[in-house]
Structures are given as structure tokens and as C-alpha cells.
Amino acid sequence: MAQLERLAAAWHGVLAAGLAGALLPLAFAPVDWAWLAVAAPAVLFYVAAVAPRRRALQAGYVFGLGEFGVGVSWVFVSINEYGGAGPGLAGLVTALLVAGLALFPVLAVLAGRACSPGRTARLLLALPAAWLLVAWLRTWLLTGFPWLFLGYAALDTPLAGWAPLAGVLGVTAVLALLAGAVAWWAAAPSWRRSAYPAALAALVVAGGAAGDRSWTQADGEPLSVALLQGDFAQDVKWDPSQLPRILERYARLTEEHLGADLIVWPETAIPRRFEHVAQPLELLAGQVREAGGALVLGIPYRAGGEDGALHNSVVAFGGERRAVYHKRHLVPYGEYVPFRALFGRSLDFLGAPMADYEPGPPPEALRLGPDLALGATVCYEIAYPRAVRRTAAEADVLVNLSNDAWFGDSLAPHQHLQKARMRAAESRRWLLRATNTGITALIGPRGQVAARSPQFEVAALTGKVARRSGATPYTRIGDIPLVAAAGVVLLGLWLAARYRR
């Protein structure tokens, strides 16, 4: 193994880490080679543990370049094809984003090495704990970019039972521990040492099996639902001349499904402010009510009159009332331009086709009557576990309205659906995902896709879903206990290292 260590400590280790990072996105949808969520970080952990400090940090950065260069390549599609920036500027913006995101694996390597007194502690504890803390950091730093967490790859594996116990970060921690154990064994393979990775794998599978239970219970009659996919390309969707055509299509699809308990349109299904189209929408909602159902749709909404804040909103017509949810977690440059006073209109090619949106107030469940409450999120919010946790316990059903036309035919719609599946598994709720161009889906309370629409087709996805009540352990406690435990581990290792010195 001395030869392998020499290679890992040289430039070969950096190349191996870069290749592992580039392969890691294949662990996620649509490829779903889940084993790479252990194998890829194991390569990086091995190099980080045996290489000199400088080489280890280089390996971390090249790993990040591979991981995000492949995994978020869809950013180029969004900016080039739909932002109108052209391939040169779109490539530059994408490269800068990838270069920034690649610093996160470096931070994990740096923290893992700094806090560990020896190679064994580094691989089995420090690097997995640091990886978890850096993943948590990505959920909020600079508004957050929680993409490509290891835990998403485990949705269709025996480890998925950890989701309602500890969320996607908990599943990420489990996979990072396995990766560290594999790297530790690779550093000096032997039959005796192989017992630890095998025992750890058996333990985490057993934990997943223990967590793979209902946690919540059906409550009331099932709902018949219809999720409408209008399929308007992004360049067509925001053309004002297309508004009558858009209204006509959604009205026709809605009328074809009158009698459903819940009819859901996607994010900004109508690309005009609500007050400009309130009358035809109220008339259509009245038809839905008369047939015994409720209508939920996405639309820009100006709260507080003409001078009020503009929101990316969900409007729900149910019973005799109208409920509104204003998107709270906005996408920088996608829905608003930071430092607008400094940049003016120069960065609008990155932004929404309307004026900057404002974030909404703390969310509450959308109540459509005494027997139905919806936990609503819009588009990218579904990537943030806490955005769903805020209302999951009081919601009967979760709904996510999205417009994935921004992403074209890229990896992003598949990755986005996978995140929605994890939110359903964490909360043990049915999740209704209505999108403009796909992938529209009915997602069961264990994260399974019960039905889905094809992409880039006009479609109406119908089915029955159960209202559920109760809360999972993760819904109740969130991420803080796990993050605190990882912090305590790193602090303890750092103190031990100082004591040894």
C-alpha cells in the first residue's frame, strides 16, 4: 500500500479526486448510481488523509470542480438559452459559480485535517463530521445552495429510512461515515480491518430499517387531485401576446377535470400580476367550487396595492375564502438582483422576467377549509428542508409549484424532483409537484413516485392521495441536534490533537 499512498500524495491523487468529483453527480437522478455517493467521497477522504496538506487541499478543490462542473452544468443552459446572455457570458458566469462552490470540499478537507490527531481519527470521524458541517453551511450561507447532498442518492436504498429520523443531512452523515470507513480500510486493507466497515454498514442499514415506518397516519377521506402541466417554453411563457393562449389552455384543462377535490397549476402559470387577471380566475375558481373542489395556482402577486411588494405567490381558492402564500426563499439573480442600486439593470439577463420579487412573511399552512391544509412551497424552496418543515406538521398534503422550463432538457428537472421526493420522505406526507414543462409528479409519503408526467408535453396528472396527520422525528427536531453533535466531535478531536502536541 506504500505505492498507493505515494501516488495519492503526488499529482495522481489530485487527478483521482477530480475524477471522483466528476463521477459523483451520477449518484443522483436521473442516473441513480447510489454506490458512488460512498465511493466518490471515499477517494477524496483517502487522498486528504495521506497526502501532504497542500496536496490534500488541491485535491479538495479539484474534486469540487468536477462535482459542481458536472452536477450544476444546467446553470449554463438557464443563462445561455433563456437569459439571452450568449454562450460566452453564460460560460463565464457558470465557471465563476462552479469555482466558488468548489471551495466547499476544500473547507471540509481543511477542517477535517486540522481537527484530527491521526489518520484513523481523520478518516473515521473528522472528515465525515466536517463534510456534514459544510453541507449544513451550504443550506444558508449567502442564501444557500443545497444541491448535490450525498443523502439524496440514498432515496431508493435501504438507508432511506433515516430520512424521517434525521433528514437529508442525517442520510448525508451516514454516507460520509461509510465513505470514511472505506477509505480507512483502503489505507491498510486486511481481513481484520474489514470488519469495521462491514459492521458500520450493517448498523446503518439496521437504523434505516428501524426508521422505515409510517410515523404519520391517514386522516380523513382521500383527495382526488389533478396536476396541470401547460408546457409553455420559457421564451413563449413571458411573451405578453401569449397570455390569452395560456389562459385558454389552463381553463380548458381545468374544465376537463372539474369534480377533482384539488386542481393544481404550476409556478407563475399565469405570467401576469394577479390583479390584472383576477376576474377570469375568480370565475374559473367558482366553477371548481361548484363542482366541489379547490383551485391552487402560481402567479405574481402584488400585496398592498399598486405600490406594494411584488411576490412570487401561490393563490388557493377553496370554500368561500382565498388563501395566499408568498414565496419566502428567493433565488438571487433568478428572482431578484442583489445590490440593485449598484448594478442597475446590467444583470437582468440573470433575473426573472418581471421586476424583483420580495420575500414573503413566515409561512403558514394554506387552509382551504376546516378539513384541508396545504404546506406550499414554490420551485427552488423544495431544496431547503427547513422551508418544508415550517408547515409540514400542520399540513394534510404538501404542494410544490415549479417552472422548470428555465432548465431546459438538462439534469436539473430530475435533480429537482429528487429533492421533492426527499421532502416527502422526511415529513411522511404526500407531495403534489406541478410544473410547467415537467416533471410533474405525485409523490408518496416514503418518497416514492406514484405517478409522473412526461416532460415537454401538455399533460394532466390525476390520482388519489391521502391526507396525513402527525409528525416525524425530523419534522419535530430538525437539523440542529445533528449539526451540534458533528461540531462537538470536531471540537473534541481538535482538543485531543492540541493535547497530544
Centre a 10 Å sphere on the Cβ of residue 253 and count the other Cβ atoms it contains.
19
Residues 94 and 225 in one domain: no
> CA 293, 296, 300 angle in degrees (round to 5)?
155
153 and 95 in a common domain? yes
The SS3 assignment for 338 reads coil
Q: Which strand ranges, in their side-by-side order, compose the sheet holding 321-326? A: 321-326, 309-318, 294-303, 262-264, 223-229, 459-465
Backbone angles phi, psi at 448, to 5 degrees: -80, 145
Q: Tell me the residue length of the chain.
A: 501
Q: What range does the domain containing 89 cover? A: 2-214+478-500
User: pLDDT tens digits, residue range 371-399?
Assistant: 899 999 999 999 999 999 999 999 999 99
233 with 103, same domain: the answer is no
In this prediction, residue 85 carries a pLDDT of 75
Alpha-carbon distance of 52 to 116, in angstroms, equals 14
Q: Are residues 307 and 436 in the same domain?
A: yes
State how far the Cα of 136 lies from the Cα of 176, in Å rounded to an integer.
13
Q: Are residues 305 and 251 in the same domain?
A: yes
- With cut-offs at 50, 70 and 90, classify the pLDDT of residue 1: low
Average pLDDT, the chain: 92
Note whether 308 and 435 are same-domain residues.
yes
Residue 234 has a pLDDT of 84
If asked whether residues 64 and 208 sit together in one domain, one would say yes
Q: Which of 39-48, 358-367, 421-430 has the lowest mean pLDDT?
A: 358-367
**What pLDDT score was predicted for residue 208?**
94
Residue 447, beta-bridge partner list: none
Percent of the chain with pLDDT over 90: 77
Cα–Cα nearest to 423, from 455, 380, 454, 372: 380
Give pLDDT, residue 338.
72
Instruction: Give yes or no: residues 41 and 141 share one domain.
Output: yes
Positions annotated as catalytic residues are 267, 327, 379
SS3 labels along 12-26? HHHHHHHHHHHHHHH
Compute the average pLDDT of residues 52-64. 96
Phi-psi region of 86 (alpha: psi -120 to 50; beta: other; left: phi over 0): left
Same domain for 249 and 327, yes or no, is yes
Residues 75 and 189 in one domain: yes
Rounded distance, CA 125 to CA 112, Å? 8
| Cell representation of residue 169 | 443531512
Q: Give the predicted TM-score (pTM) of the model.
A: 0.95
Express each pLDDT in 302-311 by its tens digit: 987 777 889 9
List the strands of the sheet with 441-443, edge to edge: 366-369, 372-378, 397-402, 431-435, 441-443, 449-452
The reported pLDDT for the residue numbered 349 is 53
Decide if pLDDT at 8 tops 80. Answer: no
Kindly state whether residues 378 and 365 are assigned to the same domain.
Answer: yes
* 320 and 438 fall within a common domain: yes
What stretches of 51-194 show up as alpha helix (H) in DSSP? 53-71, 74-77, 86-101, 103-114, 119-121, 127-137, 163-187
DSSP strand pairing (294-303 vs 262-264): parallel
Q: Are the C-beta atoms of 354 and 310 separated by less than 8 Å?
A: yes
- The arithmetic mean of pLDDT across residues 458-482, rounded, is 97
pLDDT of residue 346: 54
Angle at 23 between CA 414 and CA 384, to 5 degrees: 45
pLDDT bracket for residue 420 (50, 70, 90): very high
Q: 181-208 pLDDT, tens per residue?
A: 999 999 888 888 889 999 999 999 999 9
Total of domains in the chain: 2
Q: Cα(452)–Cα(447) distance, rounded to whole angstroms?
A: 13
Q: Interior CA angle at 343 toward 358 and 235, to 5°?
A: 65
Strand partners, 229: 459
Give the N- to C-terminal CA distance of the chain in Å, as an integer: 28
Using left for φ > 0, alpha for ψ between -120 and 50, and beta otherwise, residue 52 falls in: beta
CATH of the domain at 425: 3.60.110.10
pLDDT in tens, 248-259: 999 999 999 999
Distance CA 309, CA 355 (A): 10
Inter-residue contact 32 to 156 (CB < 8 Å): yes
**CB–CB of 185/193 below 8 Å?**
yes
Residues 334-361 pLDDT 10s: 787 776 656 656 555 555 555 688 999 9
Q: Which amino acid is at 301?
A: Y
Residue 333 pLDDT > 80, yes or no?
A: no
